[in-house]
């Protein structure tokens, strides 16, 4: 790995919390697609499969920011462990209900409980921010985390879909639950690198979502998440229609590989221009890259198209994390990062659900219209909110350093 990445791990404990974060994030790419594969195999109903995946994502969208707000106030260990136990218990209920053919409402109730799974990506990024805030290493750290995210999305679908199709239908979500348990309990055992909580600021300024810039990022990523959710569901159905359902995992892995490749390169670069411009360019590139999916007719061409479209994902996400630092106070950083994940989760829910119904009604190829439309919406929202992203220091925004300077001047 290039030296800027190696330098990240000079601080004690960084390798351990990175490894724990990797394991704990594997369910992010495994659970939703595993549920889609499991339910479609057991029932043949893609509409139900997509709706259950959407329920998990929507529940995470509702619960995630609240969990992260508690983390900012009370610390990672005190909050993540009980939240994870709830997620594990309801995941076990979902697998049992699906296996025994229980009524749909039981499946949805259990899927909703899985939404209490913590946002491990935000927790790890908060640890990096606590170590390297205000230094060039933080950009490299965020890039490294995007690489880790994409590694999860390369191997997660392969493991989840592969186990569901080759072993037994519940195997993929079951392994995802195991990864979650090991990752969270290992991470929370590492107290030395845990960011300091901010209990005194629990009532200050309300939610991080009061930041106008953060609201723009969240709204845009609702549409972006719809791209991701739709692509996952439609790709599984597209491969199934051609008699190669298991190959969907490899195709989706190439989608993630494109993003991971871009993240590795992006982390080596240093930028001096306005980050909001790079962000808007990235959102536009993601939207345009969806158009070729409407034209592909076989799996090899689909794999190439998804790899190319993946190249714009990680740079956009990395820039988003930098923008959150500018628009959200330090005491609400974990919550701010989770709100963007929440926007993605809501979008994934909408995209996967809508795509499932389109597939049932018109076939898999028509389903790729969902990410195309979602990309167009993301661009429109991004352009409409661009001016708000250019004004970070409006009383709540600004970089962490700017917040500290304002606080020092106030105390003086």
Q: Residue 128's domain is classified under what CATH number?
A: 1.20.1250.20
Is residue 399 very low, low, confident or very high in pLDDT (cuts 50, 70, 90)?
Answer: very low
Mean pLDDT calculated for residue range 269-293: 85
Tally: H helices and E strands in the chain: 17, 0
Tokens of residue 394, six digits: 């409006």
DSSP helix/strand/coil, 58: helix
* Of 225 and 400, the one with more pLDDT: 225
Is residue 412 very low, low, confident or very high in pLDDT (cuts 50, 70, 90)?
Answer: very low
Q: Identify the CA nearest to 169 among candidates 270, 39, 310.
A: 39
Q: Residue 199: inside a domain, yes or no?
A: no
Q: What kind and span of H or E run contains 255?
A: helix 248-266
Rounded Cα distance, 247 and 250, in Å = 5
Q: Residue 7: inside a domain, yes or no?
A: no
User: Do 266 and 314 contact (CB within 8 A), yes or no?
Assistant: yes
CA–CA distances in Å: residue 383 to residues 151, 233, 284, 386: 31, 28, 9, 5
- Number of Cβ within a 10 Å radius of residue 77: 17
Q: Residue 1: inside a domain, yes or no?
A: no
221-251 per-residue burial string, b: 16 or more CB within 10 A, e: under 16 = bbbbbbbbbbbbbbbbbbbbeeeebbbbbbb
Rounded Cα distance, 127 and 132, in Å = 9
| 274 torsion bin: left (phi>0), alpha (psi -120 to 50), beta (else) | beta
DSSP state for residue 195 in the 8-state scheme: P
- Number of Cβ within a 10 Å radius of residue 287: 25
Q: Residue 251: inside a domain, yes or no?
A: yes
Find the range with the poorest average confidence among 33-37, 185-189, 245-249, 274-278: 245-249
Q: Residue 94: inside a domain, yes or no?
A: yes
- At 276 the pLDDT is 83
- Domain range spanning residue 330? 13-194+208-411
User: Do 353 and 50 contact (CB within 8 A), yes or no?
Assistant: yes
Tokens of residue 150, six digits: 């994409």
Q: Residue 203: inside a domain, yes or no?
A: no
- At 206 the pLDDT is 60
- At 151 the pLDDT is 79
Q: Tell me what the pLDDT averaged over the chain comes to.
A: 82
Find the range with the poorest average confidence among 23-32, 60-69, 190-199, 336-345: 336-345
Number of structural domains in the chain: 1
User: Do 279 and 389 contact (CB within 8 A), yes or no?
Assistant: yes
Taking every pair of C-alpha atoms in the chain, what is the biggest distance, in angstroms? Answer: 70
- At 407 the pLDDT is 31
- At 181 the pLDDT is 94
User: Do 84 and 30 contact (CB within 8 A), yes or no?
Assistant: no
Share of the chain above pLDDT 70, in %: 90
- At 205 the pLDDT is 54
Rounded Cα distance, 304 and 6, in Å = 31
Q: What is the pLDDT of residues 176-221, one digit of tens each?
A: 999 999 999 999 999 888 888 877 654 455 666 677 778 888 899 8
Q: What is the pLDDT of residues 75-117, one digit of tens each?
A: 888 899 999 999 999 999 999 998 888 888 999 999 999 988 8
Is residue 398 very low, low, confident or very high in pLDDT (cuts 50, 70, 90)?
Answer: very low
Nearest 10 degrees: CA dihedral of 46, 50, 51, 55? 150
Q: Residue 22: inside a domain, yes or no?
A: yes
Q: Identify the CA nearest to 127 among candidates 75, 51, 81.
A: 75
151-185 per-residue burial string, b: 16 or more CB within 10 A, e: under 16 = bbbbbbbbbbbbbbbeeebbbbbbbbbebbbebbb
- At 406 the pLDDT is 29
DSSP helix/strand/coil, 2: coil
User: Do 118 and 63 contact (CB within 8 A), yes or no?
Assistant: no
Q: Residue 202: inside a domain, yes or no?
A: no
């Amino acid at each position: 790995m290039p030296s800027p990445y190696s330098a990240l791990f000079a601080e004690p404990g960084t390798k351990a919390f990175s490894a724990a974060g990797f394991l704990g994030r594997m369910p992010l790419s495994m659970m939703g697609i595993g549920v889609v594969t499991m339910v479609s195999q057991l029932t043949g109903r893609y509409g139900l499969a997509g709706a259950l995946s959407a329920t998990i994502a929507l529940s995470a969208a509702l619960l995630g920011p609240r969990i992260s707000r508690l983390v900012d106030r009370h610390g990672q260990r005190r909050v993540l462990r009980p939240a994870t136990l709830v997620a594990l218990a309801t995941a076990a209920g979902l697998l049992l209900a699906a296996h025994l053919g229980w009524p749909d409402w039981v499946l949805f109730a259990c899927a909703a409980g899985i939404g209490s799974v913590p946002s491990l990506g935000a927790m790890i990024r908060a640890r990096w921010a606590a170590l390297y805030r205000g230094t060039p290493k933080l950009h490299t750290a965020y890039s490294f985390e995007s690489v880790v995210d994409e590694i999860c999305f390369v191997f997660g679908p392969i493991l989840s879909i592969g186990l569901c199709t080759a072993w037994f239908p519940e195997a993929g979500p079951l392994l995802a639950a195991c990864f979650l348990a090991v990752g969270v309990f290992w991470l929370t055992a590492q107290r030395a690198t845990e960011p300091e909580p901010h209990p005194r600021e629990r009532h200050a300024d309300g939610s991080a979502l009061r930041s106008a810039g953060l609201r723009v990022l969240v709204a845009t990523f609702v549409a972006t998440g719809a791209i991701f959710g739709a692509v996952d569901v439609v790709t599984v159905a597209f491969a199934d229609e051609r008699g190669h359902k298991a190959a969907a995992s490899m195709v989706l892995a190439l989608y993630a590989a494109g993003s991971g490749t871009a993240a590795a390169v992006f982390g080596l670069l240093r930028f001096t221009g306005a980050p909001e411009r790079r962000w808007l360019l990235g959102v536009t590139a993601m939207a345009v890259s969806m158009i070729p999916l409407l034209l592909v007719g076989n799996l090899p061409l689909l794999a190439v198209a998804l790899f190319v479209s993946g190249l714009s994902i990680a740079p956009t996400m990395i820039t988003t994390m930098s923008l959150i630092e500018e628009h959200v106070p330090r005491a609400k950083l974990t919550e701010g990062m989770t709100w963007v994940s929440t926007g993605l989760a809501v979008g994934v829910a909408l995209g996967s659900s809508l795509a499932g119904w389109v597939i049932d009604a018109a076939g898999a190829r028509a389903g790729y219209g969902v990410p195309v439309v979602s990309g167009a919406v993301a661009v429109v929202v991004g352009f409409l909110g661009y001016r708000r992203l250019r004004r970070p220091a409006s009383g709540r925004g600004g970089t962490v350093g700017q917040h500290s300077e304002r606080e020092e001047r106030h105390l003086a």
